[in-house]
Amino acid sequence: MTGREAHGDAELKKELDATLHARRELGDEYESALVDSFLEKVEQRLDGAVDRQVRRQLAEQQMVVARGARSPQGSDTWGERFGFGIVSLVLAIPLSAIGGGVADLPGLLVAWVGIVGVNVVQAARLSPNFFGRRRDTSHGSDWDK
């Protein structure tokens, strides 16, 4: 719990105590107005907390965009990787048959080198650290040394 939350909770507790004390003093005829007043204060506190949370998340998203990083909702999903792998394996069957039928073992090897190459390029696209290097956009070069 942050200091702001603890302070707000203490204020809210004081407000509740004051509302209950006023209800005892004023009687049942003012109960509805007192409860409405207290609930309005609770609603204002919640609105403020939600507003702060939304502003914080928006600022975090702006920082991610400013740094050039991909957001978690980007296209780098497990489903995309799985789908690409399945399509790659399905296409490997006819490519292997054609390569092996036309040029025997060398044709089969060429087909599989192509399949592996396409998968390596896709993995490198989705994971910039795939080759153990990071892209450096601050110095104008494509790769760090």
> pLDDT by residue (tens digit) across 17-38?
888 888 888 888 888 888 888 8
* Assigned token pair, 119: 């998968």
What is the model's pLDDT at position 3? 63
pTM over 0.85: no
Mean pLDDT by 10 residues, the chain (145 residues): 66 87 86 86 85 87 76 62 85 88 91 90 78 57 48
Contact 34, 45 (CB under 8 A): no
What is the model's pLDDT at position 133? 60
Where are the domains positioned within the chain? 3-67, 75-145
Contact 42, 34 (CB under 8 A): no
Where would I find the H helices in 27-77? Answer: 31-67
Q: Is 141 helix (H, G, I), strand (E, B) or coil?
A: coil
Distance of CA 13 to the CA centre of its chain: 35
